[in-house]
Structures are given as C-alpha cells and as structure tokens.
Structure 1
C-alpha cells in the first residue's frame, strides 16, 4: 500500500511539473517569424561555385539571405564580416548546415569571378549569388526586400538595397526576417547578437 501511495505521489508530481513547465511563457525571438513559414516562388539563380541554384538548393540547411554587392562601401562588408564572426555560434545552434547567400543586386558589375573572390573571403559557408534583373528582381521582391536599378549607361553608381537578413528554414521556406537596427549616426545593419539569440531560439523550436 505504501509503495502504491509513493508511486501515485510521484506520478502526480510529474504531471504537475509538466503542466507548470508547459504553462511557463516560452522565450520568443524578437525577429519577425512567419507563422506558418512561407514558400518561395520558383527561382533560378547563378552561384559563384558554379552551376544554377533553384529552390531545392535551399533545403536541408539553414540559409541566411542577404542582398548586397561587391562595390558596396559600408553596409555590405560590415554585414558580411558580422555574419562571418557569428558563423561558429550559428552553426553550433543546429545540427543542420548553416549557409549565407550574398545575393548581388548589381548584376551589371558583379561577375561570378568577382563574387567568388568576395564571398569566399568571409568563409566556405558563404555563396555569392547573381542573376540578371529579369530573374533577380522578382526573387528579391518575393523575399520582402528591395533594391534600386541604375539608369541605363551609368557606370559609377551606388545601389540602394535592403539591409535586412532573411532566414530560410531547412524546408526551403521563408521562416524569419532580421531587420536592420536604425540608430542615428550609425549604419543601418542587423544587430548581430540579437540575430544569434533569435536564431538559437528558432532553431531549438524547429521540428
């Protein structure tokens, strides 16, 4: 009888513990998380590693998508360097591979050779991606990002583009977006530590 009572108490304590745990507020990322995640429209891009990239190339891994260009004077190299420094921690947060696609919004000047030299500088996880505007613009727009197209004949120009980072989940779906931190007198770049914290939460909750 005593053993039965002890067993019942243990079961009740276990159930109570589960109920209390499930009732606790879960830590939520500050990033915009899409619920449910959103499918990407079919696309075809070029990678600096050679060959074409399509939707299937985003599956089986976490991919951080960032728009930029090799001639960018500030936001792009800063963001790429921040992602490079964060990569060891990002990779440790999941048992899936982690990649970064730097999507060039300057196809007029960014050849595959330029993208290879640029992207590979930051690490083997970085892939330089390009396409002509007819394929590039709908892909970038579908991510919820934007960029400006220079006037025909322009040679020395800057490209205005989004500085947010889009997170693609291992199913190849748009899972979250890390928006840039706009502070007076500072570059509008994503807060790296906040992105790391958010990704750790997202990856731990991903099934």
Structure 2
C-alpha cells in the first residue's frame, strides 16, 4: 500500500516538474519586427478592387491582412512577391480562424486605374485585393504604415517607381502587428523570406 502511494506521489511530482519546465522554457519568438502593443492606423479612405469603391479602416477588421506597396508595371519585386504570397497563403490560412487577405497598395495612381488593378490582382486569386488613391491621400497612408515610394517627375509616362519591399501584417482588429523586412543580397531583387513569414505568422496568429 505504501509503495502504491509512493508511485502516485512520484507521478504527481514528475507531472508538476514537467509542467514547470514547460512554463519556464523559452518560448519561440518571431523574427519579424513586432509592435507591442499593436498600433492603430490613422483614418484612411482608399479605393479597393474588393468593393469597386472606397473603403476605410473598417475594411481591415475581421481578417488578417498582409499589405505591401507595388504597381502593375513593376518588372520584378511585385510579381515575385505576389506569386510567393499566393504559394504560402494556404499555409497561413491553416494557422488562422479568420480569412487571410493580401492588399497590394498601388504606388502608381497615374497608370493604375481600379479596373487595371482588378485585372492584375485577380490573376492571383480572390484573396488578393488592389487598393489605390491619388498621391494626397496615398502618401500619408503609405507613410503611416512605415513604408515609402517615389513619385515620378511631372509629365513622365514611362518610368519605374521605387518603393518598399517590406510586408506589413495587420491583425483582425485592424491594427498593425508586425513588419516583415526584405532581405537585400547583391545581384538579387529584395524579397521577404516567405518561409520565415509562415513561421512567424504561426506564432503571431496562434
């Protein structure tokens, strides 16, 4: 009888020790820059391919959203980023209990009409949304996200737009939660490490 109680007590102590070890074990942390607490976005109004009209901050609520700057005439960063995000989107969705969407913020309002954006983002799937605005509304919106872009000289028609390659993660409360910065390697276009994005998202959305 005594040995039986010793076994039970030993089992309880072993379970308690295991639980304590789990609690004190260093928890995995994301490599992305995480905003703690998440940051509210300044009020904005911007055109969206999702509605065919204007949306505001409410459009970011109830979903996880990955935002990045781009434009339809972009020769490299934008199509590469969109294609990569399309590939990993099912993995991201597996870690989320609400939809995961991608917003491409056009930084070329002169050439990117809503119709052109609709056709461009539609190629990648229904979870991809194009948004646009004229520079007076666009620049503050992009700057508030912590991103940037260049504005072409007046009268230019054939030009490239320099813009950030980072991706912003907005949580289902419509607040900025993290930024995934692009890696810059000689001879290669700057891109976000998508495998790391998946790992970090699993932690942040968990």
The normalised TM-score by structure 1 is 0.93
Q: Counterpart of 1:31? A: 32
Please list the CA deviations of residues 103-161 of structure 1 after superposition, one character each: whole Å capped at 9, or x if unmatched. 00001110000000000101110001001111110010000000001111111111000
Match among 150, 157, 161 for residue 148 of structure 1: 150
For structure 2, list consecutive stretches of 5 or more residues without a partner in the other structure. Answer: none
Secondary structure of 1:190 counterpart: coil
CA distance in 1, matches of 2:149, 2:162: 5
Please list the CA deviations of residues 25-79 of structure 1 after superposition, one character each: whole Å capped at 9, or x if unmatched. 1111111111111111111111013122211111111100010000001100000
Shift of 1:11: 3.9
Secondary structure of 1:45 counterpart: strand
Q: Counterpart of 2:23? A: 22
Q: Counterpart of 1:112? A: 114
Report the aligned-residue RMSD. Answer: 1.5
1:167-178 equivalent positions in 2, closer than 5 A: 167-178=169-180
Secondary structure of 2:31 counterpart: coil
1:117-128 equivalent positions in 2, closer than 5 A: 117-128=119-130
Give aligned pairs, total: 204
Q: Counterpart of 1:96? A: 98
Secondary structure of 2:178 counterpart: strand
CA distance in 2, matches of 1:22, 1:59: 32
Secondary structure of 1:197 counterpart: helix
Q: Counterpart of 1:190? A: 192
For structure 1, list consecutive stretches of 5 or more residues without a partner in the other structure. Answer: none
